[in-house]
Amino acid sequence: MIENYDFGAMVVDGTKYTADLILLPGRINPSWWRKEGHRLNLEDIEDVLQEDIEVLVIGTGFFGFMKVSSEVHQAVQSKGIVLRVEKTKKATQIFNEFAAHKRTAGAFHLTC
């Protein structure tokens, strides 16, 4: 459960994270890096797409500067996974709503 998000910081289950992160059912990747800082490419989430998930929520940053490539959209859709892409504040709310009843992953850019 994401308890709080503000520019550059997210609290998940009582632990504060200050780097971009990926939330998976049962575990967290607390230091997620992308090949291109403000662009999400397929290779950046290939490991996420290997998980048994029903929903992927992507937080594009406080101001929404991170762009999601069309390859990501296509790959997620081809696996039958629901994809939601929003600014990170809204994405955290969506993540919590889905995670309450579906196998949900989240990839969150915490700054810009």
For the chain, the domains span: 2-108
Q: Is 83 exposed, middle or buried (0-12, 13-18, 19+ CB in 10 A)?
A: middle
Cα separations (Å) of 17 from 23, 30, 33, 58, 105? Answer: 11, 7, 14, 16, 16
pTM over 0.95: yes
Residue 98's pLDDT is 98
The predicted-structure confidence for 39-58, as pLDDT tens digits, reads as follows 999 999 999 999 999 999 99
pLDDT digits (tens, 9 = 90+) for 8-39: 999 999 999 999 999 999 999 998 999 998 99
- The pLDDT of residue 37 is 84
The Cα-based distances of 65 to 24, 46, 60, 112 in angstroms read: 23, 21, 6, 6
- For position 26, what pLDDT does the model report? 92
What CATH code would you report for 2-108? 3.40.1230.10
Question: Confidence band (pLDDT; 50, 70, 90) for 105?
Answer: very high
